[in-house]
Structure formats: C-alpha cells, structure tokens
Structure 1
C-alpha cells in the first residue's frame, strides 16, 4: 500500500500524508464532496478535483497490484521466476507493460514455435543465430525426422521454418523490443483511413465521412474528435482504418520497422550463410507477429485518450449546465414546440408545482395563431406568469415568435385595464432529455394524471427555475452536451458524469423540505432508498424543523447523517445554522464564537465586519483546526449563499429570426450552448447555432475555449460569415474583428455541424485561407452532439 501512496503523491503532486489520509477516509465510506468540504484538516486541503483524480487512480493502481501478484504467482509456479524478472515485474508502471513482461510465460494455445521446440529444434535456432556463418541446410539436416504426433519436420525446409518460428516468437515476446516499437510508432506512425471497398460515397450515411475517404495523420497527434469519427466509420463498416509506417518500404526491401528489430537484436545482414534465414525471421517477426498487435495496442491507446478528452468535454459542459444561473421562485410558462401535434403548454408556480396544462395549435396544419395567443394570454393572466421557457426543438423559432407576440398582447391587455405592464422574459432552453424524463417512472409518480407529452413542457419550465434540481431527474447522458458520447466507454462516462452531478449538487446544497428523491439521492452519503425514506417521512410528518430530525428517518443512521447533514438546508427551521453549510458536528465551535462575541447567532449571521475581525486560532481545537474555523466564519458571513451566478436573459435582436436575417458585421447577443477545446457554439435565436472558433474568442492565444467561455454564458458576438445553403454561421467575440476576405479559395472539404447536424471531423489542421476559416472551424467542431 505504501508503494501506491508514494506513486499517487508523485502523480498528484501532494504529500504522502495527504494521500494516506484521503485513502483512509475513502476506504471508511466517506464521499469525495464530504472529504473536500469537511475534512480539510485531515487531507491538508485536498480539493474535489484532486480527490476525484486520486479516487480514480487508486482504483487503477489497486487493480495493477492485484494483477502483478497474479503474474508473479503464475511465473513462480512455472519455476521460471528469476530475480531480474521479479524486479522488472515489481516495477512495471502500467498494466500494458506488465502484460508485455508476462507474455512469454502466459499460458497460450499451441503455436508453431512451441511445436518446433517440442521437436528439439531450439538448439539449432540458437546456434544459427549465434553464428550466422554456419550453413543452415547442413546444420538442419541433423534435425530432420519422420512426422509423428502431429509434428512434421521431415525435410530440411520444414526444420528451417521451425527455426524461423522459434526466433520470431521469441523476439515478438521481447518486452523491451515491443515497447520500443510501440513508442516509435506512436511518435511517427500514421493513422490512415480510406473508404471501404464497395461503398457508395454518394450515399447519405457514407458521405458524412467523406473527410476520411483519404485521410492520414501522425497517430500521436490525432485530435479526439477525428479519432472517434474514424473509429465510428470503421464500426459502421464505412471506413478502413490502419496504422502505416512513416515511410512505406520499396517492394522486396525491408521496412523501417524490420530495421529497428534488427538493430535491437544487434544483427545486420553481412552476406553470411545464415543471414537470409535470419532476415526472413526478422521480417516474419514484424509482418506476422508484431504489426497487427502493435496496431491494435496503439489503436486502443488512441481510443482511450480520445475518449478521455470526449468524456472531459461532456463533464465540463454538464457541470456548467447544472451550475447555470437559476431564475428562482418565478411563475414560468413552459412551451414545448411542435407542428402537427401542437405546442404543449405547462404553467408551474413559484415552487415548481404544475398548476395548468394545455395544447395550442399556432402552426401547420391548423395555423390558429390568434386562438393560441388568446389561450396563452388567459393562462398567463390567471397565474401571473412572468417568465416563458421555450424548448429548442422543431418549431422553436416559430414558437419563440408566438411568445414575442404573447408578451406584446399582455402589454396591451395591461394598458387597457389601466394596470402596470408586468415584465415578462422569454428564454429558449435546451429540451435535451425532456422526453426521457417525461416517460420515466419518476415523472409518472410526480405527475401521474398528466399526459406524457405535457410533462416535457413542465420539465422545460422548471429548468429555468432551478436547472440543477430539474436536470438531476434525467440520466446525464441524455442531457445532450456531449461529444461522441455513444462511442466512448459507457461505464467510465457514467462514472464521470455521476461524479459531476454529485459534486454540483453538494456544492450548491439541497433544501431538505422541497428536494425531490432524485435530487436527495445525489447528496453525499444518501442512497436512492434513503432518499425515498426522507421524502416519505416528510410526507407523513410535515416539514423538517431541524437537521437532527433526519435521525428519526428509517434507515438514516449516524454515518449517513455525518456524510449528508452539511449539504442539506432547512429554511425557516428552529436552528438558524441549519440553513448554512456549517456541519452540525461543528455547532459547538459556533457556540464558542457566540460566547466570545456576546452575540446570539441571529446577530452574528451576515455581520461580515465583525466576523472578519475574529481570529480563527482562538476557536481551533485538536479535531477542527484553523481551516475549518475559517470555513465556518465564511458561512456565517453569507448564510445560505448560492454559488451559482445571477440569472440573466440574452436579448435577441428584433427582426433577426432566421439565418437569412443575419448580415456580416452585425453584433448580436446570444447564449453559449456547447463548448469544446477548439471552439464554442452560440445560440442567436435563429434556430441555427453559430460557431466561435477558438482563434476568435479573445485578443490572445487561447488553448482551450473553456478558458474564455462556458455553457450558458451570455456573450456578444460579431457575425463574420454566413453560409445560408450549408447552414453555417461564423462568429467572433473580438468585436472589432473585420469580416473575412472573399478573394481566397473556399475549402470545400468540410461539412457543417450546426445545431441538429451530426457530421464528423476534418482532415488536418492546415492553415486556412481567410474565407475558409469558418469551414475549418466548423470541421473542428464536427461530432459535437446537441
């Protein structure tokens, strides 16, 4: 275990005592949010990012140690474990390097090399390689024997083939050789794809991959989105993909890979009697034994690294979406757009309770615009609606116009009645996952008498009130901010996304008396069954008055209380501290602060100047040190604070409702809808997201778009280029940037990837001509899932 602790400390760049403390807490059942927030003294301040990395690597290293022990035991039982081999195995840093060392000793099916050894040919192979001046035919003659027991070495040529098999298998299992070839090809090998024979490139499904019909790029530098695009094309049997050498050999000539094998062996062709035989063995080692396995290993590495990037993109975007600004307790009208089936309408009150539903038909085929406005006007007046949420699906743009007309109508109604016009905002929100929620078991329990189609409108409305509380009801993979999410390791994606949701929920805190079962089940230390028990207790006994009442809930033991209590909030309860992030275990410290200041808790909370004047050292003790005291004082300064930003609404320009309304040079306001390392999509309210390439985000070099923007941000952009036919909008956040020149050749290799389009990656990142910059940028963002 000490070995693992030492390695983790080196990787995360923290002290070994910090790693040991974190591992002890994790093994004891503590969650990452709890350790990061309430055990800072123990870990000396490790944050949630470091703890998540530690948790993931700890699992890998423990699996590595278990496998290491199994390998050592297997080789020892074979009687082949030398001190040198043991040392190499003990220090193998990865699972792959461990398996490389184990390969020669790993039980395997009977090979040609094994059969040759069984026939006693191995001494001949050793002698010929050690002394290439020997005549191979003459030496082999002594090993010719009649075929028997399935072994046929009845001719000199068959014996020499056995020599080749023995040598090539031995060299192919040389861990140092395999690793050096693998590393060389990762640096210099080419990842190449082409259209599979017999495929019609004009077919709609096939043409999506046209950028990869003749594509190659150094494998170690292939971006995530391009790697995943090629692998998807290969899975769909549209593309052939292979690893090729940086320089293809001339016909009949040895390849660079064969040269490297010879160099590793310390052998070169000198025209000696055995050199042709050895050259054949070297060629056989590469072409038959190592080329395909090396390709497989490097493809696995490329896929794993591409998946890590894709999963990180998804996780980062999900975190931004979950921590988006909540509109708060406002009455919201949710509109789920549709054409033939109508626009589904749901009104939720300030607490999120569904109070009315309807369906209107403003679009084809009924085109009942006035009737729809009349119905919506009555609903808004009846419930005091002050915010409209519009789903971004089919007919979203047309429904957004309906909402604009509705706001004008309500203004006229207020003027006619002589009452002040109520300010009503309208916001287009992502409806990704709403249909999944609508058909879920939880939705049926939450709204049992409501049609499935109307539940989606209610979910859209609630997303504005509190994105976090509503989106936790949906499988994170259905929220729609991922990149090639169906192509990556699903268990790793699920683990990562659930960790993001858990961290977000616990960083914000949860209202114990209003939270749903899905939201409560994401709180540190609470399982789905315990969350249901909490809700049942609440329904039977009324609202919780204190956090301590949680111990009355069936199945809610001391450990669950320790892990969860600090993240649960009780508003209007008997203890004012229950609305803060101060953990109940530290309430005695707060009592000391009250004694020291002579102030009751109600007079301490919010008194920033007084609290800042206190010295944390005066209240620290053996269990809770200065770090914890500082956190407590911070919570008392801003009790019940929400770490999320204030709610803002992007103001779309009047008269700009379609991509055709956009003009180069126009400055607009929009909402960032998706972010990748190389750029960001922006919703301008024209039902087609525009793209800000990473080079257009700021007047400085930007490596990752998330350095500048995140999902949900409201930004101002300048329209740089519009391609109506291909539904592309090129944008810049450098508002003084000039539109691109028109005299350069357009790069037509790339297909658009705006909202709703599912295209794939580009070829290489060649420097674009000015007017092709947008095409290159779109190509880089191809594969993002909306």
Structure 2
C-alpha cells in the first residue's frame, strides 16, 4: 500500500500523510462526511470531494495490484514469465495496459493461427518476418508441406495467419491503434431502414445520418447512439478516412516487419490488412466504444448528481399550510391538506377539467377548493406536473382570484413510486396510494429534502439516460450525493423520518428504524447522549453521527450546533475566555456572541493550541460565534404564481420568468408555465461562451428568459438568456 500512497501523492499533489491518514480513517469505519468535518487535523482540511477521490483512486490501485499479481501468476504457471515482462506488468498504472500485456498468454478458443502452429508453420512465419525474398519463400515453403498442409500456397497462408495473430496481440500495436482511433477516427450512425417504424416518435431522427470525430463527440450523443443501437434503430460504426487508414496500415506494417524485401510488399500488406480487419480493429473498436461509454456514463452521472444536489438543496417553506393536488382526468384530481407542521389533515377528490367533467362536477369542485383554502387557511397550492396539470392550473388560477393564496407547479416524478412503497404504507397505513402520492407532492414544497430522500433518486426526474448508464456507479453516486447533502444540512433528531436518518453519517437503515422506534416508545430525545440508549447503536456509530444531528430542545445548547460532543470541553473553555458558560447561551445568546466576537480567532487559537488542534479550535469558535445556518437558505425560493400562461399567449421576443427543471450537457429544460418544459440550448445560455451548462445553472434556479422560437405543431418552445439583464 505504501507505494500507492507515494504514487497518489505525486498524482494529486498532496502530502503522503494526508492520503495515508484519510484512507486509514476510512478503513477504520469513518464516513467521508465525518472525516471532512471532524478530522481536519489529520487530513489538513481536505474537502469531501478530495477525500472521496482519494478513496476511489486507492481502491482502484489496490484492485490493480491484485490483478497484476494474478496475471503474473497465470503467466508464470505457463512457464513464459520473463523478468522484463514481470517488470512491465508491475510498473503499469492502468488496468488496460495489464490486460494488453496478458492478452498473448490468455486462454482462448483455438484459432486458425494456433492450428497453424500445431502444424509446424511457426518457423516459416519467422522467416517471413526476417525478410526473405518471394522466391526464397516459395522454395522454403515446400519443406512445410504435409498431410495437413497441402501445398506451398497453403503453407504461406497459414504462416501469415500466425503473424496476423501476433500483430493483433502486440501491445505496442494495440496502444498505437487505440490512440489513433481516439484522436483521428470518426463515429458514425445510419438508420436501419427496415426498423424505421421502431422509432415511432422520431426520437433518433437527428442521428439517422450522423458523423462526429471521436475526439469531439458529445457525451449525450454517445448515450443516445448506444440506446438507439440497442433498440436496433441505428447501425453505429467507427472508421478512419482513407488517407488516415493508409497511414495506419503503413505504420503497423513498419512496426511488424523490421526487415523487408520489396518483392514481398504485397504479402506484408495483405497480412497487416487481415490482422487489422479480422482481429485487431474489431477488438480495439469495442474497447474504444467502451471507453466512450464509460466516459459518457461518468459525465451523465456527474450531471445527474449535481442536479440532484440542487434539487435536495431547494429551500423548505416551513410553517406553510399546503394544499396538494395530483391532477388526473378520468379519476379526478386528488387533493390533500398538509398542516404547517407537516402533518396530514384531510383529503378529497375534485373534477376540474372543463372538457372532461360536467358543469355540475366543475361547480362542486370550485366550491370545495375555496372551502378547503378558507377552512385550513391554505398558504400555497402545490400542483403536480403530470397529466392534466395545466388544465388543473387553469382551474386553480381562475378560482383563487381575490384569495390570499398562491400556487406552484411541482415536479411529481417519483410520487407514485413513493405512494406504493413500504415506507409510505408505514407512514399512512389507512390511506389509499393516490392520497399518499398527493401528500408527497405537497410535502416536496414544505420540506424537499425530507420528502425526496424517501424516493429512489432515479425516479425524481432530474437526470438523462439514467437507465442507460452503469447502474451500480449511478446508484453509488446518487447515494453519496444524498448523504453529502443530508449531513451538510443536518437533521433534527426528534422530527426526522427513518428514511432521512438512514443517510446520516454512521447510521445504517436498521439503526435509523431503531431510533424512530425509541422515539415512539420513550418520547423525544432530551440530548445527544441519549442516542447511546438506542438498540444496536454503539460508540462508533455515535461518534460518526453525533455532530450531524441536532436537538433544539436539549438542555445542552451545544446539542443544537455542529460542535461534536468530543469538543464540548473545548467549547466550554472558549466560553470561559469571556467569563461565560454554556447555560448563558440560552439565557442571553446575543450578549455572549458579542463578547466572543471581540476575541480574535488567532488569540483563541494561541490560548488553546497546547491541548487542541488548530482546525478544531477554529471550527468550534466559529460555531459558537454564528447562528447554525441552513445552507438551503442561500438557494432561490420556489416561484409562486397566481395566473396561467398558454402557448397561444407567447410571442417571439417575449420576456418571462422560468424555473430550471433539468440541466444537461447540451442545455437546460425550464418550466415557463406550459404543459411541456421549454429548452435553452447551450449556445443561448449566455452572452459569453459556456463550456458546461451546470457551471451557470442549477435545478431550482429562477431565471429570466426570452422566447426565441415557438413550434406550435410540436408544442416546443426555444428560449434564450442572451442580452438578458
């Protein structure tokens, strides 16, 4: 492991001790969130992303070491391991090179070249490589004729097969071709005409005649091509232009045939072309396609994770009574009331779609909506964005005029997944699944983080190609994102569901359930220390989680800060510097903070550094000095509305407000109040060049846009942010 610490230290530009300490903490059971926040002395202040990168890279290098050992053993068992080959394998820093080195020794099905070797033609192949003339080869080939080798031509062809196979397994040739394809080849797609009907909605129309250099192909293009190929709609291939192809042949020929005879040029080229077309190119083409897919997967997963992070960080609208509406036509629109404390109050069904429901139904629905708003003093109406959403929005907009209430369109993706889940059944055992889904829609406005963690992140509508990318990598990344945000925000121990608690540092799902069960049986937790009474929750789990949960009602004010219990003594000593105690934080917090603020951080460090780490002193001092701030406060509030917009109302050049719903590599999808989200292409996102839309936009952002183009037939609207103030 030592050599990996040294290697990674050089690669990442970090001290070896930072890497070693970080990995040791992780191996001992510390979470990334805990290491980043409470072990800064050991890591020298590394952030979560760097810590995660260190762990991922060390795991990769550890697996690489295991594979090297395995490959060396397998080659050694064949009696073919040389000292030079062993050194080459041991010095490899990427898995692909190890596999390339192992390829000639890898057990595989018997090939024509293997059969030719068994027939004694390897010696003839060596003579061809030595550069004998055409006439000399014809004469020499006679000596290789047997019952299995019928004539000179057969002997030369079979000897050529051996050379072709050796070319295809030559590491230098493979690395050269891989590099050339990645740098100079094109990826193309064409429609499979007989399967055109499979693309019923013309989803892949832009790819029916598609060509891009591999070097510049966009990641979303790769994922779209992969999906269309899998659905047998497109034929996808990689190729060089003719000039580059000839150069590649010539280069491989020169790498293979060190000694050449002019009379054999045709034979040399035929061997290279055979090796290339039959063995080498198909193998490297698959590798390159895998490289493109892996890179595209990583890119899509990063975008998805970033969108999820922005969605989870949307600010809650606490202390607001919400009326949730889950639109529908045939079965009506489900309605649910959520109190300002987040509790379910009532539910009903209304029929608000004018073209689908009778006047009697419409009139009763108008009456019910107004009665519920007035009876429960509803602050906000949350309308799901599914089927009949805009018809429901129109109904709401018409019937809240004059009332002190606003409405908001909510992305309802995943509500049905939640409503049918075991968790929903436990939360609302007596309610129908449709009501549970409506409650989920309402609660997404009241406290997005607490509600969205209950749903599989792939189902909440902020990713693209989520079913096409590597599912294990996607799940890991999304879970890491949720864990990061939950621990950054913090969790109220006495109100959190077990779904939310299960993402807290150090808390496993069974422990999260035990915490909730303990709370039901014994009432609210009085302090952090009481966690140790929970079944199955030991000292290690307590250490990992304590700083990420808060108890506002605790008698110990430190329990409502990010100060870890292991640093309570330090916090008390800092307070003593201004002749105060923790009790005074409750009696006169403002006065205590004023006294603390008159201290200089460097003076506090100087007085405490003999017994405590500098980074810990800084964090504890600042935690005492400042209010415990929710990072979500800095994000834009949801856009509340009181009127509706139709596509017929739009005109080119019109300026509007929009809510960002999804960010992709090629642009952003935004809600401007129409049935379908409108799109801003990457080229229209800013007056300046934009390399990546996520650099300037996040899910939930409220932005000003200008209507660029309206396609009423396809119900598509293109927008621009250029020249917008």
Instruction: Name the structure 1 match of 2:240.
Output: 245
Instruction: Name the structure 2 match of 1:650.
Output: 639
Q: Report the CA distance between 1:50 and its aligned residue.
A: 0.9
Match of residue 638, structure 1, among 599, 602, 626:
626
- Give, in whole Å, the separation in 2 of the partners of 1:218 and 1:616: 59
1:232 counterpart SS class: helix
2:662 counterpart SS class: strand
Distance 1:556 1:510, change over 3 A: same
Kindly provide the CA deviation profile for residues 121-155 of structure 1, in whole angstroms up to 9, marking residues without a partner as x: 21221122203325222111111122xxxxx2232
Instruction: Name the structure 2 match of 1:120.
Output: 120
Q: Which runs of 5+ in 1 are unaligned?
A: 147-151, 412-422, 738-786
Q: Is the 8 A contact 2:578 2:596 kept in 1?
A: no
Instruction: Name the structure 1 match of 2:161.
Output: 165
Output aligned runs, 1:163-202, within 5 Å: 163-200=159-196
Instruction: Name the structure 1 match of 2:441.
Output: 460
- Give, in whole Å, the separation in 2 of the partners of 1:622 and 1:336: 60
- Do residues 231 (structure 1) and 226 (structure 2) align? yes
Kindly provide the CA deviation profile for residues 623-664 of structure 1, in whole angstroms up to 9, marking residues without a partner as x: 74121121112222333321112663425584x521111112
1:186 counterpart SS class: helix
- Do residues 404 (structure 1) and 397 (structure 2) align? yes
Kindly provide the CA deviation profile for residues 32-68 of structure 1, in whole angstroms up to 9, marking residues without a partner as x: 1111111111101110111122222222221111101
Q: Is the 8 A contact 1:667 1:735 kept in 2?
A: no
Match of residue 354, structure 1, among 320, 334, 344:
344
Q: Report the CA distance between 1:733 and its aligned residue.
A: 2.4
- Give, in whole Å, the separation in 2 of the partners of 1:141 and 1:79: 33
Instruction: Name the structure 2 match of 1:153.
Output: 149
Match of residue 293, structure 1, among 250, 274, 283:
283
Kindly provide the CA deviation profile for residues 212-248 of structure 1, in whole angstroms up to 9, marking residues without a partner as x: 2221111121101111111111100111111111227
Q: Is the 8 A contact 2:563 2:623 kept in 1?
A: yes
Match of residue 358, structure 2, among 363, 366, 375:
366
- Give, in whole Å, the separation in 2 of the partners of 1:579 and 1:285: 69
Instruction: Name the structure 2 match of 1:581.
Output: 562
2:631 counterpart SS class: coil
Instruction: Name the structure 1 match of 2:55.
Output: 55
Instruction: Name the structure 1 match of 2:145.
Output: 144
Kindly provide the CA deviation profile for residues 407-430 of structure 1, in whole angstroms up to 9, marking residues without a partner as x: 326x3xxxxxxxxxxx42211110
Structure that is richer in helix per residue: 2
- Do residues 321 (structure 1) and 311 (structure 2) align? yes
- Give, in whole Å, the separation in 1 of the partners of 2:641 and 2:707: 14
2:633 counterpart SS class: coil
Instruction: Name the structure 1 match of 2:23.
Output: 23
- Give, in whole Å, the separation in 2 of the partners of 1:19 and 1:562: 22
Match of residue 647, structure 2, among 652, 655, 659:
659
2:195 counterpart SS class: coil
Kindly provide the CA deviation profile for residues 573-610 of structure 1, in whole angstroms up to 9, marking residues without a partner as x: 11111111111111010111122111122545555543
- Do residues 387 (structure 1) and 387 (structure 2) align? no
- Give, in whole Å, the separation in 2 of the partners of 1:651 and 1:525: 38
Kindly provide the CA deviation profile for residues 663-684 of structure 1, in whole angstroms up to 9, marking residues without a partner as x: 1222211211111233222211
Match of residue 695, structure 1, among 683, 690, 693:
683
Instruction: Name the structure 1 match of 2:107.
Output: 107
- Give, in whole Å, the separation in 1 of the partners of 2:243 and 2:204: 25
1:543 counterpart SS class: coil
- Do residues 722 (structure 1) and 710 (structure 2) align? yes
Instruction: Name the structure 1 match of 2:615.
Output: 627
Q: Is the 8 A contact 1:673 1:683 kept in 2?
A: yes
Which has the larger displacement, 508-517 or 368-377? Answer: 368-377
Kindly provide the CA deviation profile for residues 301-341 of structure 1, in whole angstroms up to 9, marking residues without a partner as x: 01111111111110010000001111112211111111111
Match of residue 258, structure 1, among 213, 230, 249:
249
- Do residues 212 (structure 1) and 207 (structure 2) align? yes
Distance 1:136 1:495, change over 3 A: same
- Give, in whole Å, the separation in 2 of the partners of 1:126 and 1:59: 43
Q: Is the 8 A contact 2:407 2:641 kept in 1?
A: no
- Give, in whole Å, the separation in 1 of the partners of 2:137 and 2:389: 79
Q: Which runs of 5+ in 2 are unaligned?
A: none
Distance 1:527 1:165, change over 3 A: same
Q: Is the 8 A contact 1:257 1:286 kept in 2?
A: no
Q: Report the CA distance between 1:707 and its aligned residue.
A: 2.1
Q: Report the CA distance between 1:376 and its aligned residue.
A: 2.0
Q: Report the CA distance between 1:179 and its aligned residue.
A: 0.5
Instruction: Name the structure 1 match of 2:268.
Output: 278
Distance 1:589 1:406, change over 3 A: farther
Output aligned runs, 1:736-775, within 5 Å: 736=724
Match of residue 482, structure 2, among 480, 498, 501:
501
Which has the larger displacement, 622-631 or 354-363? Answer: 622-631
Q: Report the CA distance between 1:446 and its aligned residue.
A: 0.4
- Give, in whole Å, the separation in 2 of the partners of 1:113 and 1:137: 20
- Give, in whole Å, the separation in 1 of the partners of 2:138 and 2:272: 19
Q: Report the CA distance between 1:203 and its aligned residue.
A: 5.5
- Give, in whole Å, the separation in 2 of the partners of 1:267 and 1:221: 35
Which has the larger displacement, 338-347 or 699-708? Answer: 699-708
2:505 counterpart SS class: coil
1:33 counterpart SS class: helix
- Give, in whole Å, the separation in 2 of the partners of 1:567 and 1:608: 22
- Do residues 75 (structure 1) and 66 (structure 2) align? no
